[in-house]
Structure 1
């Protein structure tokens, strides 16, 4: 995947993330846990206010320590060439206040555990929740497949959000049967394991299909995987 395509993919991810945060549908930690890369929320002065779990591990830094460091984060973690050549353009990007725009650039970030600067792709956009920026930063050496994986995770989260109430209307028995079906058991085997009649299992399956609005095993499997009943 080219850098341009990666930037566009990350931009789509950040648009979804910023929307979720602005609507208070998810907390920073919940959103951050879906991103297999360094995800950070930055203040208007470009100082990170929050790092997700991946970011805290990468920078060997807790969010409490991040607050103490403040503006010194730039001197400690950002290469001088990046500060001199890239950050002025990030500031110009921020000052334009264009929420539809994206900034994408190569930067050098200090990784203390490896004791080296790594060339990373920084993708950032204006955030609606703190008048700052939401950003994804990832070393080039690890970036293969990241955007696709992130999009897949976000799609799964969107599926759960969109279908939560529908799935929640199922009975515990119906959820149990979904799990057994997803694990490859057929109707007679389920009836035998749960001490039910075949007719009862068939009726449960009809109720499941009706409540979820599904018509195939593939659709049922998607629910089972998304809601963790497999």
Structure 2
């Protein structure tokens, strides 16, 4: 008998597309961190890795760690030793820093990690997805990371809750896998095309040949399965590729 329950792989794919949509909505003023944070039964946080400091954590995250946000920040570097596996936390932290340094606003970074939660402080597996918190978001640091961390044993209710929150944003969820296939160069070219740039102008700006631009354009059209500029523009708007 068929059920509506998603497999773990499907849940990870959907959660990955959802964080893109959530950050996009926050950046465009359609909702706030407080509005989404306490609606989701998982850890929602914004972290500044340069200080380092947690600038936002929802109620679920604070309650499961057993600390307020101020108490978490007061721990300093002990935060990582207290709640995460020694050695593993350093590797993941370096991965997040490298992700930030790459500076690709359209890229996501995800990983599995063990976190101590609950009154017994036992380790549990979480799936965490990170995205740049863009600088045009009011009162947020441009170097911040927006994170959604979900217990592997409870991903289904999180996905369901976020789907309700994203009602009307089906295009992003439906097309995220296609978006993930685009290379960084292809995303750059899409951005320039939406500015009305011609192939010769794009070639000059990116210091590549017109033939290379033409090849990229063919690959983009093939991956996105589009035949018109209107379709390209819709995709670019949905995935925030317009500068």
SS state of the match for residue 80, structure 1?
Answer: coil
Q: Is the 8 A contact 1:38 1:55 kept in 2?
A: yes
Matches within 5 A, 1:52-91: 52-91=58-97
Q: How does 1:31-180 map to 2 (within 5 A)?
A: 31-45=36-50, 47-128=53-134, 129=137, 130=141, 131-155=143-167
Segments of 5+ residues of structure 1 without an aligned counterpart are 159-230
Q: Where do 5+ consecutive residues of structure 2 fail to align?
A: 1-5, 170-243
Cα RMSD (Å): 2.3
Post-superposition shift, 1:26? 3.1
Q: Is contact 1:107–1:121 with CA below 8 Å preserved after alignment? A: yes
Structure 1 residues 67 and 26, CA gap change in structure 2 (3 angstroms): farther
Higher alpha-carbon deviation: 115-124 or 45-54: 45-54
Alpha-carbon deviations, 1:6-51, whole Å to 9, x = none? 3332232222222233234433211212222111111133643211
Q: CA deviation at 1:2?
A: 4.8
Q: Is the 8 A contact 2:84 2:114 kept in 1?
A: yes
Q: Which has the larger radius of gyration?
A: 1
Q: 1:125–1:4: structure 2 CA closer, same or farther, 3 Å change rule?
A: farther
Per-residue CA deviations over 1:151-173 (Å, capped at 9, x if unaligned) read: 123328x8xxxxxxxxxxxxxxx
Asked if residue 6 in structure 1 is aligned to residue 4 in structure 2, the reply is no
Normalising by structure 2, what TM-score? 0.57
Q: Indicate conservation of the 8 Å contact 1:41/1:48, yes or no.
A: yes
Aligned-pair CA distance for 1:55: 0.8
Q: d(CA) in 2 for partners of 1:106 and 1:151?
A: 22
Equivalent position SS for 1:58 = helix
Q: CA deviation at 1:3?
A: 4.8
State the distance in 2 between where 1:152 and 1:97 align. Answer: 30
Which digits, 9 at most, give the CA deviation of each residue in 1:121-141, with x for residues without a partner? 111111113221111112212
1:182-193 to structure 2, matched below 5 A, reads none
Q: 1:71 to 1:47 in 2, by over 3 A?
A: farther
Distance 1:16-1:78 versus aligned 2 partners, 3 A rule: same
CA contact (8 A) 1:58 1:111 kept: yes
CA distance in structure 2 between the aligned counterparts of 1:3 and 1:88, rounded to whole angstroms: 26
Helix, strand or coil at the partner of 1:13: helix
Partner Cα distance (1:125, 1:48) in 2: 15
- CA 1:89–1:2 in 2, change beyond 3 Å: closer, same or farther? farther
- Secondary structure (helix, strand or coil) at the match of 2:114 reads strand
